[in-house]
Amino acid sequence: MNKIDQQNIQVGEIANGLPLTIPVYRLKGDGSGKSVYIQANMHGAEVQGNAVIYQLLEQLKNLGLRGDITLVPYANPIGCNQKSGEFTLGRFDPITGVNWNRLYHYNPELVRRFAGQSDSLSDQELRDAFKAALVEEVEQRLNGPQHALTTGKRIALNLQRLAHQADIVLDLHTGPISAKHLYCPEYARASARYFNIEHVLLIPNEFDGAMDEAAFCPWWQLQTQLKRQGRDFEVAIEAYTVELGSQERIDLTEALEDAQSILSYLNYQGVFVDAPYQPKNMQRHACYLKDYVAYYAPMGGMIEYLAGLGEHLKAGDAFARILRMERYLSEEPLHTLRFDQDAIAILHFASASVNQGTELYKFFTNTFDL
Amino acid sequence: MNKIDQQNIQVGEIANGLPLTIPVYRLKGDGSGKSVYIQANMHGAEVQGNAVIYQLLEQLKNLGLRGDITLVPYANPIGCNQKSGEFTLGRFDPITGVNWNRLYHYNPELVRRFAGQSDSLSDQELRDAFKAALVEEVEQRLNGPQHALTTGKRIALNLQRLAHQADIVLDLHTGPISAKHLYCPEYARASARYFNIEHVLLIPNEFDGAMDEAAFCPWWQLQTQLKRQGRDFEVAIEAYTVELGSQERIDLTEALEDAQSILSYLNYQGVFVDAPYQPKNMQRHACYLKDYVAYYAPMGGMIEYLAGLGEHLKAGDAFARILRMERYLSEEPLHTLRFDQDAIAILHFASASVNQGTELYKFFTNTFDL
Amino acid sequence: MNKIDQQNIQVGEIANGLPLTIPVYRLKGDGSGKSVYIQANMHGAEVQGNAVIYQLLEQLKNLGLRGDITLVPYANPIGCNQKSGEFTLGRFDPITGVNWNRLYHYNPELVRRFAGQSDSLSDQELRDAFKAALVEEVEQRLNGPQHALTTGKRIALNLQRLAHQADIVLDLHTGPISAKHLYCPEYARASARYFNIEHVLLIPNEFDGAMDEAAFCPWWQLQTQLKRQGRDFEVAIEAYTVELGSQERIDLTEALEDAQSILSYLNYQGVFVDAPYQPKNMQRHACYLKDYVAYYAPMGGMIEYLAGLGEHLKAGDAFARILRMERYLSEEPLHTLRFDQDAIAILHFASASVNQGTELYKFFTNTFDL
Amino acid sequence: MNKIDQQNIQVGEIANGLPLTIPVYRLKGDGSGKSVYIQANMHGAEVQGNAVIYQLLEQLKNLGLRGDITLVPYANPIGCNQKSGEFTLGRFDPITGVNWNRLYHYNPELVRRFAGQSDSLSDQELRDAFKAALVEEVEQRLNGPQHALTTGKRIALNLQRLAHQADIVLDLHTGPISAKHLYCPEYARASARYFNIEHVLLIPNEFDGAMDEAAFCPWWQLQTQLKRQGRDFEVAIEAYTVELGSQERIDLTEALEDAQSILSYLNYQGVFVDAPYQPKNMQRHACYLKDYVAYYAPMGGMIEYLAGLGEHLKAGDAFARILRMERYLSEEPLHTLRFDQDAIAILHFASASVNQGTELYKFFTNTFDL
C-alpha cells in the first residue's frame, strides 16, 4: 500500500485573521512515468470532484505508481464556503465578481525568450528548463510583495505552482445542471478517447485565464513558435477540464465511475506499473469550441427544461417552455423554444426562473465522432 | 367558458421608482358556494405553484362555478426576482433577513371583542361581521401612514386583504428538495383526504406569521373562545399551505396532477356545479407538527443524500453520508448518518455542501394513517 | 502588568471542514469584585467593538483588577467573513435569514423552579445556585446531540456559556449609520450615567433572543417572581448592548474614547482596585423602547439623509429628501420627509437607495433626561 | 423654458415578466452645436449621478441650447435594485459576476473598413457615415435574434445606441469611498481643465468594454489608422467617465457643484448659446493609467483608513492600519501600512473588514500638473 502524504498549504487569510488552507495529498511514484496533478472544487458549488478524489485515493493507494501524483480537493476555500441562501455562491469572488477560474498566470514573453534561446538545448533539456521557468515565474509572484496580489490570484498561483510541476493536469469541475463533458486541447484529441466521457469540446490555443489553459498554453505556444523556426518539439503536457455533471451534488457511486474514467486515461499515459483500467467502449461526440452555442432566454419567465442532458435534438425540436403567468390573458402564456440546428443539449441553467438574457442551455453543434 | 378578469395590484416600489405589481386573476361563481383564494410563489424559488395556477385556470375556465375564485401567481415580486448567483434568493428579505411568509397580520384583540359581542348575532351574522372586520383590520393598516409599513408587510397585507374575503385559502409553496406535503390545521383533518398528497402535517392553533395561520387562526380562536362561553360555532374557513415538491423547478405535467388534487378538494367543498374531480385512492401519512423533526449537520462537510423523498426509514437506517476530504488521513473521511426513530424523509437541504448546524433533513415521526 | 490568557474555542465547522474558532482573552482579578464579560462583532459589519476590545486590553493590562475579565472579539466567525459585494453581510445567517443576535437561550421554567425552591437559601446561596444552573442549562445543550443544534445556536450558546459566568455583560454592537446609544434594562438606569453615551434606550423585561436579554432576563424574572412571593431579591447581573456608532468602520482614536467610557462604568462597579476612570459630565437623553420609532420609506427612491446623527428635531422638521428621477416630469421629483413629533435622530439606513418600506431612520421620541 | 421630453425605453424583462425600463430625458438644441449624452447609475450603488442629472435638468431647462441633450438616470434597472443586506450589490450581474460596465460593443473591423473606404469622403462625410455605421452596428445586434443577447449586453447596447448619436458622452460613476476623479482619453487632456475635478486619469486607446471607451475608441482608432495612411482626421467625439465621489450617497448640494462642473465643460464645447459656466481656478493633478496603482491587503484584518481622499502622501507615509485581534498575544496586533512612493490617495475600499488580497487603496503616482 502506497504512503499518502498530506500537506496543508495556506493560500490566504480571511477578515478575522483565520488562515485559508488547502489540503494537498501526494503519492510518490518510482520516477519512471509521468507525474499527475488533479484538483477539484475551484468553483464553490462544484463539489463532486472532491468525491472523485476520494475514490481516486481509495484506488491509488493500492496501485504501482511510476509517476508522482498530487491531489487537491477543496481547491478554493473561499468559494467552497460562500453561501447565499441555501446554495453555494462560489463561481466568482463575492467582492469583485471575478470568476475564480480566470486568474491563472501566463506570460507570453517567457515563450518568446525560450524560443530564442533553444538552439543549444536538447528536447529534454528544453523541457526541463521550460518547466522550471514556469514554476519559477509563479513563485516569483507568490514571493513578491504581498500587496500586489489579489485574493483570487494568490489562490490561483498557489495551485498553479503545483500544476506546473506535473506532466498531466486535470481540473475537476461541473456544469450547473449538466451532462459530463471534457474540455480537451485540440492537439490532445487522441487522448480524449481514454476518458469515459461522451462529450468532448476541442479548444484552441488561446489563454483565457483557466487552469487547463495555464497548464498547456505555454507549451503549445512554444511548440508553435519552434515549428515556425523549423524545429519539431512535442507538447510535453496534457491538461483538461473535466466536467463531471451537475453542481451541488455528491454521489459516491458516480464518483467511482469517474475515478475509473480518469484511471483509464492515466493508465494509457503509463502512470501505473500494471493496472487494469481500460476505457469503455462508447460513442464520443466532439465539437469545436466555436460551435458550442449558448442560448439566452429571449424573454423573462419560468422555464420548463424539456431537453434532457446529452439529448440529441433535431433542428426545430422543442427544448424548453417559458411560462409567463402575468400575461395569461394578454398573450399566449406558454412559449415553446426551438433550436434551429441539430444539436446535443449539454447543460442548462440551474434555476427555473430567469431574466431575459439568462443563459438557458448550451449546445454542441456541428458535432462529429471522435 | 367563464370570463377571467385580470387586475394588477401595486404592492410596492423599488429604488428606481418602478412599481411592484402582482397579477390577480378572478372568476365569478353563481354565489351559491364557497369562495376560494389561491396564491403562489411567496418565496422566490418556489415557482411550481405558478404552473399549478396555470393548469387550474385551464380547467376552471370550463367549469360551472358556485363560488368566486381568485388566483395570484408571482405573489412576491421582490422574492421572485432576487438572484444571487444562479439561484433565487427569495426566502427572506435580502435587506432584513425576515422570512416573507412570517409577516401576515393577526390581532387577538379582535377575537376577544367579537367573543364579547356575539350574543345577539346569529351564526351567519357573526360570520359575516367577523369576516368584514378581518378585512377592515388589514385595510386600515394598508391605508394608514405609509411610513409605518415595511416592504414585506405591505406585500403581505395586500395578499391578506384578498385572502380574508375567501372561505378557502391555499398558499402554494415548495420545500427545498422535497416530497409533496400538506400543512393542515388539526380541525380540518377530515378534508385533507381530498387532496392527492401522501404526507399531511397537522398543525395547532398558533399564529407564527404565515398566510395559512393568518387565515384560520382568528376563526379557530373565536370558535375556542365561544366554546368556553358555551356556544358551538363552526370554523368558517379552511386554509392550507400546500408544499408541491422541490423548489427551482417548473414541471407542467406534474402541475396538472397538482391542479387535479386541488380541484378534487374544491369539488368536495362544493365549489363546482358539477365536476368530475375525485381524490385518488392512496395511503395518507399524518404527523403532528411537534413530531416533525429537523436533523442538523453534526459536522461540516459534503453531503450525499441517501434517503429518497418520501422514503420510510426504520430506526438506525442510514440516510446520508458526510464526506470530509481534509481528513482523509487523520480520521475516517466518510461518516454515515443514521436516525434513531422510524421516520419518513420529507425533505432535504438543497446543496451538497454544509456548515456544521445546517438543516439536512426533515422527518415525519410517530406517523399514523389519516 | 497583568497576565493575559488566550484560548481559542471552536464554535463550528464550515463546509470544507475547517474549524470556526473564536479568540477568548482572560485576565484574572483578586476575586474581591465583580466579573466582566465583553464581546464584539456578533454582527459581521459591526467591527468597531474589536477596536474597543483592543483599547480595553491596552488599559486593563496595567490595572489592579478585583474581578475576572473575559473579552471576546470576532464573536461570530461566520458573520465576520460573509461578504456580498464590498460590504459585510453579517447581520443574519446567509442560509436561513435568522438574525445572529436572536439565538440565545432562555428557559422560563428554570425561574419557576428556583422561585419555588428558594425559601431555604440565603441571597448569596440563591445567586450562586441560580448562576450555576444558568451555565449548566447552556452546557447541557452544547453537550447534547450535535444534530439538534443549528449553526447559529451553537455559536450563541458558546458565547452565552461565558457570559452567564460573569456579573457584568457588555455586548458591543453598532448601528448602520448611527449615533452612540445604549440599550439599558429599566432596573439598571442608574448605572447608565457612568457610560459616556448620550442616548439611552430603556428596555423592559422581555426576552427576544438577544445576548443582553439572555443575561439579565432570568435574573429580573426571578426577582419579579420572588417579589410576588414577598421576598426582596436584587438582580445580581447588569447587561447592556452598547451601540458604538456606525458599522463598517474602524477608528482607534474613537475606540479609546469608548474604552474609557466602559472603564468608567466598570470602575463605578468596583471592578478595579484603584483606577482613575470617571464618567464625563454630559447630558444623557433617555427613551423607552416603546417610544423608539422606525420610519419606513413611504415610497421607493434615492435618499438624501438630512438629519445628522444625534440631531434634535422639532415636530415638522425635514429630516430627509427622496429623489425620484423617473418622475421628473410627471410629478415632483424631490419629496421632503418630515416627522410629526419632536425627536432625536439616532440612526439611519446605510444605503442611499431604498425600496418602499425600507427602514430609513430610527428616532427617540418622548425623551427625558437621565 | 426648454421643453423636456421623457421616453421610457425597455431594456429587459425580469423573471416575473415585469419590464425593465429606463427613463430617457431629451432637450432639443437649435442644431448649431454639439450633441450631448449623459448617463448615470450603471453600477447600482453609484447613485449620486442621478442627483447630478437632476441638477443638470434644473439648469438646462433655462439655457439656450445649440446641441441636443440626452440624459439617462437609473441606467441599469437591475443593478439599481439589487440588494444584499443593506447595501446595493450592483457592480456586477449577480448571476454571472460580469461587471455591468464591461459589456459595451466594439468592432475593430468597422474601423478597418472605413479606413479603407475613406478616400472619397470629406471629413464631414466621413464623420457622418462613421457615426451612422456605429449606431447601425449596435442596432443590428439589438434587432437580431433575442436569444443571442445576455441580460447585460441588452442593457449596454440600448445605452450605447443613444451614446453613439452624441458628440459628447459622459458616464457618471462613483468610486467606493472616493475623491472625485476623471477618466480622460489622452487625446482630450486639454478639455479636462474645464471640469472642476482635481484628479485626472489619462487613459490610452484600448477597449476594455466600458462606455467611455466604446464611445471614443472607434474614433481614435480611425484617426490613428488614417494618420498611418497620411490623412489628418480629428477625433470627433469626447467621452469621459466622471467619478463623482463615494457610492451609496445622495447629496444634492454637492450634485449642484458637479452639475456646474459639467456645464462648464459643455459651455467650453459650445453647447450653449450664452451661458455663464466657467471652470474653477484649481490645481489639477494628472496621472497615466499605468501609474494608477492598487494596493491589496497584505494580510486579513480590520482596516483603519488613515489617508484621506485626495491626500498627498510622501513615500513612507502611513496610510492605513490593520488590526488583527486574534493575534493580540502572539504577534503585534496593529500593523501600519506605508506606501513606497509619493502618491495621491484617490479611493479606498468601502468596508473595514478585509480578506488578504482585497483592494485597499488606489493611488495616483508619478503625477503632474495638467
Question: In this predicted structure, what is the pLDDT of residue D117?
Answer: 86
Query: Tell me: the pLDDT tens digits for C21-78?
Result: 999 999 999 999 999 999 999 999 999 999 999 999 999 999 999 999 999 999 999 9
Q: Which of B325, B331, B359 to mutate to test the interface with A (most CBs of A within 10 A)?
A: B325
B9, exposed or middle or buried, with CB in 10 Å at 0-12, 13-18, 19+? Answer: middle
Q: Kind of pairing, strands C69-72 and C36-40?
A: parallel
For cell 387577538, the residue is B108
Together in a domain, C276 and C318: no
Q: Kind of pairing, strands C334-338 and C318-323?
A: antiparallel
Together in a domain, D111 and D70: yes
Whether residue C302 contacts residue D88, with contact meaning beta carbons closer than 8 Å, is answered with: no
> Rg (Cα) of chain B, in Å, rounded?
22
Q: Is residue A370 part of a domain?
A: no
| Last residue of one domain, picked from the residues A260, A283, A306 | A283
**Cα separation values, D192 from A177, C253, D363, Å:** 50, 39, 19
How open is the CA angle A320-A322-A328, to the nearest 5 degrees?
150
Is B331's pLDDT higher than 90?
no
Q: How many residues does chain A have?
A: 370
Q: Kind of pairing, strands B177-178 and B343-348?
A: antiparallel
Distance from CA of A78 to the nearest CA of C (A): 9
How crowded is residue D133: how many other Cβ atoms within 10 Å of its Cβ?
17
Distance from CA of A302 to the nearest CA of D (A): 7
The CATH code of the domain that includes A318 is: 2.40.50.100
Residue D316 pLDDT level (bands cut at 50, 70, 90):
very high
Together in a domain, C177 and C311: no
Whether residue B51 contacts residue B252, with contact meaning beta carbons closer than 8 Å, is answered with: yes
Tell me how far apart the alpha carbons of residues C16 and B324 are, in angstroms, rounded to a whole number. 7
Domain housing B295: 291-369
The CATH code of the domain that includes C241 is: 3.40.630.10
Together in a domain, D211 and D274: yes
Question: In this predicted structure, what is the pLDDT of residue A44?
Answer: 96
C-alpha cell at B23: 397579477
C-alpha cell at D74: 437609473
Nearest to C301 by CA among B68, A293, B36, B146: B146
Q: If you average pLDDT over every residue of chain C, what do you get?
A: 97
| Last residue of one domain, picked from the residues D264, D282, D300 | D282
Which uninterrupted H or E stretch holds C223? Answer: helix C211-228
Question: In this predicted structure, what is the pLDDT of residue B176?
Answer: 97
* Residue D357 to residue A298, Cβ atoms within 8 A: no
Question: In this predicted structure, what is the pLDDT of residue A328?
Answer: 96
The per-residue b/e assignment along A184-207, b for 16 or more CB within 10 angstroms, e otherwise, is bbebbeebbbbbbbbbbbbbebeb
Q: Kind of pairing, strands C181-185 and C199-203?
A: parallel
Which uninterrupted H or E stretch holds B268? Answer: helix B252-268
B9 touches chain A (CB under 8 A): no
DSSP string, B326-346: GGTTTS-SEEEEE-SS-EEEE
Whether residue D303 contacts residue D320, with contact meaning beta carbons closer than 8 Å, is answered with: yes
Together in a domain, D75 and D213: yes
The backbone torsions φ and ψ at residue C132, rounded to the nearest 5 degrees and listed phi first, read -60, -40
Sign of the dihedral through C-alpha B179, B182, B183, B185: negative
How open is the CA angle D187-D191-D195, to the nearest 5 degrees?
135
Question: In this predicted structure, what is the pLDDT of residue A115?
Answer: 93
Whether residue C345 contacts residue C310, with contact meaning beta carbons closer than 8 Å, is answered with: yes
- On chain C, the residues whose CB falls within 8 A of the CB of D349 are 86
Q: 3-state DSSP call for residue A337?
A: strand
D25 touches chain B (CB under 8 A): no
* Residue A85 to residue C74, Cβ atoms within 8 A: no
Q: Which residues of chain C have pLDDT under 70?
A: none
Whether residue C243 contacts residue C178, with contact meaning beta carbons closer than 8 Å, is answered with: yes
Q: If you average pLDDT over every residue of chain D, what do you get?
A: 97
Residue B244 pLDDT level (bands cut at 50, 70, 90):
very high
Bridge-partner residues for D361, per DSSP? D295, D348
Tell me how far apart the alpha carbons of residues A268 and A279 are, in angstroms, rounded to a whole number. 9
Query: Tell me: the pLDDT tens digits for B90-145?
Result: 999 999 999 999 999 999 999 999 999 888 999 999 999 999 999 999 999 999 99
In this complex, the residue of D14, D74, D86 whose CB is nearest that of residue B81 is: D14
For cell 505556444, the residue is A221
* DSSP one-letter code for D92: B
Sign of the dihedral through C-alpha C191, C197, C199, C202: negative
- State which amino acid sits at residue A98: V
Together in a domain, B337 and B260: no
Compute the half-sphere exposure of residue B145: CA atoms within 13 Å on the CB side of its CA. 10
Q: 3-state DSSP call for residue B296?
A: strand
Q: Which of A13, A155, A327, A363 to mutate to test the interface with D (most CBs of D within 10 A)?
A: A13
Q: Is residue A131 part of a domain?
A: yes
* Residue A84 to residue C74, Cβ atoms within 8 A: no
User: In chain B, which residue's Cα lies nearest the Cα of C295?
Assistant: B147
Q: Is residue A218 part of a domain?
A: yes
Whether residue C82 contacts residue C46, with contact meaning beta carbons closer than 8 Å, is answered with: no
Together in a domain, D214 and D325: no
Question: In this predicted structure, what is the pLDDT of residue C164?
Answer: 98
Nearest to A303 by CA among A338, A339, A351, A347: A351
Together in a domain, B208 and B308: no
Query: Tell me: the pLDDT tens digits for D205-244?
Result: 999 999 999 999 999 999 999 999 999 999 989 999 999 9
Q: Could you give the number of structural domains in chain D?
A: 2
C-alpha cell at B281: 385512492
Instruction: Judge if ipTM > 0.90.
Output: yes
Together in a domain, D262 and D331: no
Q: Which of A296, A304, A330, A331 to mutate to test the interface with D (most CBs of D within 10 A)?
A: A296
Compute the half-sphere exposure of residue D363: CA atoms within 13 Å on the CB side of its CA. 24
Is B185's pLDDT higher than 90?
yes
Q: Is residue A275 part of a domain?
A: yes
| Last residue of one domain, picked from the residues B282, B306, B336 | B282
Name residues whose C-beta falls within 8 Å of residue D117's C-beta, 6 or more positions apart in sequence. none
Average pLDDT (D323-337) is 95
The backbone torsions φ and ψ at residue A301, rounded to the nearest 5 degrees and listed phi first, read 160, -165
Together in a domain, C245 and C262: yes
DSSP string, D24-91: EEEE---SSS--EEEEE-SSTT--HHHHHHHHHHHHHTTS-BSS-EEEESS--TTGGG-EETTEE--S
Question: In this predicted structure, what is the pLDDT of residue A117?
Answer: 86
- State which amino acid sits at residue C307: A
Tell me how far apart the alpha carbons of residues A312 and A287 are, in angstroms, rounded to a whole number. 13
- State which amino acid sits at residue B197: I
Q: Which residues of chain A have pLDDT under 70?
A: none
Distance from CA of C154 to the nearest CA of B (A): 8
Is B296's pLDDT higher than 90?
yes
Together in a domain, D316 and D257: no
Whether residue B352 contacts residue B302, with contact meaning beta carbons closer than 8 Å, is answered with: yes
303-362 in chain A: CB under 8 A from chain D:
324-327, 337, 353-360
Together in a domain, C230 and C344: no
- State which amino acid sits at residue B265: Y
Nearest to C106 by CA among C205, C191, C11: C205
In this complex, the residue of A15, A295, A359 whose CB is nearest that of residue D353 is: A15
C252 touches chain D (CB under 8 A): yes
